[in-house]
Structure 1
Amino acid sequence: MTKHIHQGTTATGEAVTVETGWERGRQCFFVTLYAGQEVRYDSDVDLRFFPVGMTLGDVITVLGGFGLTLPGSVHTALQRDQATDAAPYILRHPAA
């Protein structure tokens, strides 16, 4: 899986780390939000996206629900990851 990491601030002012990426095996996207070491959201346990996984639109919608946006560099990278069925890598991006 690919993993794209960036920092953000939720609508409630909480600083979070956003991890999102492309899962080759499941052919879908994922997103996990952390506040420090605590998981605030994990798409792998969100029944709306199990077992089929998330689309890129789902990622954007979930982040929007927290008052977060997807940085343009992450959006572009995720589109590329899906189109090329990218091999695993990790990339940090500037904050949104």
Structure 2
Amino acid sequence: MKKVLTIAASIFFIVGCTVQRLHPVTIGMSEEQFKIEHSKSKIVEMSTDRTVYKDWDRSSIPEDYVVKFYYFIKSKLVLMDEGFLPIGATVRVPTPR
């Protein structure tokens, strides 16, 4: 019985250490906090009105990654979406203002 518990605890520990930690994104979070938690995101638009970052939802298998856009106004997250696909385009772009 002790061996079974030891094996179960070992498996639980190994799986717990290898699971990807997802950082929640919430409306109102600061741009600085977002950049810390999503260091692989890229700026795709920067203007006097807003800053837009592009990132990928890595919670699925690589073939099914979903593009996500994060919109900041005055350094606060105000919107997140999957952008839109213009007619004839193959790449998603940020939603217009």
Bucket of the pairwise TM-score, normalised by the shorter protein = 0.3 to 0.5
In our comparison, the structure showing a higher alpha carbon Rg is: 2
Return the structure number with greater relative CO, CA threshold 8 A, min gap 6: 1
Using structure 1 for the length normalisation, give the TM-score: 0.38
Give 1 or 2: higher strand fraction.
Answer: 1
